[in-house]
């Protein structure tokens, strides 16, 4: 959420952000309602002051045993007016909050301006492109040949977009998750959280999924709880309605969770196999930091996500997202796209974003600075990383000519673990 005072003082910038992000927020309606509400608040405050003044007059007259019937009658009328104004003010405040929740975050000045992903800026490429002396297969062929993933039985159980990992495939998926969790803790200093997979409406609103994306979420209607689309939601809201100390910052957390998304993309090639799923696994990094430090933390988190891809020796590219491809809540986002040699395309495996104070305001996360003043920390998050497309890149990059899969060295310790009898 953006500070209302800032919106009031910078309407042109906010309107441009709405346009650049392809949002439909009604800024004019918000500003008109804000002006009306402020006038109503002034009227309410004036009547409250009059009520207090008359209370003093009545109290004085009663102490002096004077007749206060006139003042009591007038007081009754003022009280009735205050009640009416309070009801109107409450309604307008609720309407204003609703409009505020639909104003997107303002992109940073170095974010490319453009309507869609075609305007994203490729920053750099990393890792060598492997040369093949045979035609590499795609992950669907490899998964089927090696009995790693069962898409048909997953669809039978739950519908499309819900794969079943089987045998070595299940162990590979679990090894990926464990490797990334431990890597981020041991190498990058994150503290692990294991979070609920269902959250309330307030939490979803805090990180910006609601109200805009409610139709894309899986919801338990009876309890009004939502299956999380990413661990970002429970981890960021871990400090909801709390006041931290500046000495606590920065806070670095990492969490694994299944992620649930009703909208899994368009039909066709883009949804084949593991490319777009309704349920998938992801390791998420979340940071809370002092406002002046968030640009540095964004670059560090990008390095953290890249470290995972480098550990597997994968070729990938780094993109800076254009305004039209930014999420509703993001100020600036980098994407990591890994090369899948069998599919012959780049696939997004991580988005790393700086949200400024946008989420902290919505979730009411504050800290007290060195001078004792209340401030909002900046929040950042990034995939560290999502497993489905990483699995695609690994299967396709580590395949042998006969269609078998070579296990990456960094995963061998996790696959060789056995319970001692």
pLDDT range class, residue 419, cuts 50, 70, 90:
low
Contacts with 300 (C-beta within 8 Å, 6 or more apart), sequence order: none
> What 3-state class would DSSP assign to 170?
helix
β strands within 44-186, DSSP E? 121-126, 149-150, 164-165
pLDDT range class, residue 272, cuts 50, 70, 90:
confident
Determine contact, residues 126/306, Cβ cutoff 8 Å.
yes
Catalytic residue among 257, 327, 351, 383: 351
Give the separation between CA 24 and CA 27, rounded to whole angstroms. 9
**How many CB atoms neighbour CB 287 within 10 A?**
27
**Fold agreement (4-100, 117-415):** no
Q: Tokens 């066709």 map to which residue?
A: 268
> What 3-state class would DSSP assign to 192?
strand
Catalytic residue among 232, 257, 276, 357: 276
Q: Which fold has domain 4-100?
A: Helix Hairpins (1.10.287)
Residue 368: active-site member: no
Q: Which two tokens stand for residue 297?
A: 């933390």
Quick: pLDDT tens for 114-163.
999 999 999 999 999 999 999 999 999 999 999 999 999 999 999 999 99
Give the separation between CA 8 and CA 6, rounded to whole angstroms. 5
Residue 404: active-site member: no
Catalytic residue among 37, 287, 362, 389: 389
Determine contact, residues 2/103, Cβ cutoff 8 Å.
yes
Residue 353: active-site member: no
pLDDT of residue 271: 66
pLDDT of residue 416: 81
Give the separation between CA 231 and CA 233, rounded to whole angstroms. 5
Name the residue ranges covered by the structural domains of the chain.
Answer: 4-100, 117-415
Q: What is the homologous superfamily of the domain 117-415 according to CATH?
A: Bira Bifunctional Protein; Domain 2 (3.30.930.10)
Mean pLDDT, all residues of the chain:
95
Mean of pLDDT values over 61-68:
90
Residue 348: active-site member: yes
Task: Provide the terminal-to-terminal Cα distance of the chain, rounded to the nearest Å.
Answer: 55
Residue 124: active-site member: no
Residue 109 has pLDDT above 90, yes or no: yes
Catalytic residue among 37, 71, 173, 261: 261
Catalytic residue among 36, 95, 348, 368: 348
> What 3-state class would DSSP assign to 159?
coil
Going by C-alpha positions, the residue among 178, 191, 323 that lies closest to residue 250 is 191
Q: Which two tokens stand for residue 62?
A: 């009663």
Q: Which two tokens stand for residue 310?
A: 């480098």
């Amino acid at each position: 959420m953006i500070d209302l005072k800032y919106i009031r003082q910078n309407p042109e910038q906010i309107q441009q952000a709405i346009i650049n992000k392809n949002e439909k927020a009604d800024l004019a309606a918000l500003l008109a309602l804000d002006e009306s509400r402020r006038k109503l608040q002034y009227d309410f405050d004036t009547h409250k002051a009059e009520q207090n003044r008359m209370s003093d007059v009545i109290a004085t007259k009663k102490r002096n045993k004077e007749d206060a019937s006139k003042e009591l009658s007038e007081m009754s009328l003022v009280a009735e007016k205050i009640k009416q104004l309070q009801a109107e003010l409450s309604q307008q405040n609720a309407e204003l909050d609703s409009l505020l929740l639909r104003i997107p975050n303002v992109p940073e000045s170095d974010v490319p301006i453009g309507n869609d992903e075609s305007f994203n800026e490729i920053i750099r490429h990393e890792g060598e492109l492997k040369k093949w002396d045979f035609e590499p297969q795609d992950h669907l062929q490899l998964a089927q040949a090696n009995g790693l993933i069962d898409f048909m039985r997953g669809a039978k159980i739950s519908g499309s977009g819900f794969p079943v990992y089987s045998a070595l495939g299940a162990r590979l998926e679990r090894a990926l998750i464990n490797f990334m969790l431990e890597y981020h803790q041991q190498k990058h200093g994150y503290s692990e959280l294991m979070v609920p997979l269902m959250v309330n409406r307030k939490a979803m609103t805090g990180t910006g999924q609601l109200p805009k994306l409610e139709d894309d979420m899986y919801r338990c209607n009876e309890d009004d709880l939502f299956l999380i689309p990413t661990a970002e939601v429970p981890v960021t809201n871990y400090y909801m309605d709390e006041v931290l100390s500046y000495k606590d910052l920065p806070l670095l957390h990492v969490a694994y969770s299944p992620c649930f998304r009703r909208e899994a993309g368009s039909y066709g090639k883009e949804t084949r196999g593991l490319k777009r799923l309704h349920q998938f696994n992801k390791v998420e990094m979340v940071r809370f930091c002092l406002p002046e430090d968030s640009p540095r933390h964004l670059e560090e988190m990008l390095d953290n996500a890249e470290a995972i891809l480098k550990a597997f020796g994968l070729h990938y590219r780094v993109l800076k997202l254009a305004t039209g491809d930014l999420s509703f809540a993001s100020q600036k986002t980098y994407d990591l796209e890994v090369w899948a040699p069998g599919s012959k395309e780049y696939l997004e495996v991580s988005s790393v974003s700086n949200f400024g104070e946008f989420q902290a305001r919505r979730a009411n996360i504050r800290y007290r600075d060195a001078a004792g003043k209340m401030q909002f920390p900046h929040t950042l998050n990034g995939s560290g990383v999502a497993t489905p497309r990483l699995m695609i890149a690994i299967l396709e990059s580590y395949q042998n000519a006969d269609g078998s899969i070579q296990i990456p060295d960094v995963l061998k310790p996790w696959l060789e673990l056995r319970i001692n009898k």
